[in-house]
Amino acid sequence: MPTSEAISDQSTVGVRLFDDKAASTGRAIAFLSGASERPESKPKVYFEIGFSAPAGQYFVWLRGKSDVDNKYTDSVWFQFDDQIGTVKGSMMGNWLDVYPAGVYGWAGERHNPIRIHLKNGGKHRIRIQPRQTLHRIDQVWLSRLQSRIPDTAKPILHE
């Protein structure tokens, strides 16, 4: 899902939508502040995506980029459903481990990808909060089939 089109809630500080011609829909969301060493139950900086999906297991992939060549600027905390409002979550990001600064690419653990299990079909939420800053995210992709990091830097518009 293109992130900028799917945001259902976001903090009033530390996060901003940018026009970006290289982004999947021409817009991306950036974390400008609020970095935290661990997921927070009530983060000051975050965005959320509400979505509807059938129950089942999904692999999680993020498409983003870091604008600076510093490996301490490119990761987030990912929470979903019951994890929101707790200090539980998974670290995602590290685009600079694979792609150069300024280039969008897919992030996720290549050998042990983050998986979520949606217990029920229907409405769900994802919350993303910064672990590090400054970076942009333009797409969050939940896939039942893509168990390895995508082999393209291009956006995935449909599964």
**Torsion over CA: 129, 133, 136, 141 (sign):** negative
CA angle (14 as vertex; 8, 17 as ends), nearest 5: 55
The pLDDT of residue 18 is above 70:
yes
Contact status, residue 13 vs residue 34, Cβ threshold 8 Å: yes
> What's the gap between Cα 102 and its chain centre?
17
Output the 3-class SS for 29-95.
Answer: EEECCCCCCCCCCCCCCCEEEEEEECCEEEEEEEEEECCCCCCCCCEEEEEEHHHCCCCCCEEEECH
Confidence band (pLDDT; 50, 70, 90) for 158?
low
Beta-bridged to residue 90, according to DSSP, are: 78
CA distance 139 to 3: 5
At 96, is the secondary structure helix, strand, or coil? helix
Query: Which pair of structure tokens corresponds to residue 150?
Result: 């995508």
Q: pTM, whole model, 2 decimals?
A: 0.88
pLDDT score of 7 more than 90: no
Rounded Cα gap, residues 118 and 78, in angstroms: 15
Please give the domain boundaries of the chain with CATH numbers for all domains: 3-37+46-143 (2.60.120.260)
| Per-residue model confidence as pLDDT tens digits over 79-129 | 999 999 999 999 988 887 778 888 898 886 566 788 999 999 999 999 999
| Model confidence pLDDT, tens digit, residues 53-85 | 999 999 999 999 988 887 778 899 999 999 999
Give the distance, in angstroms, between the CA of residue 38 and the centroid of all CA atoms in the same chain: 15
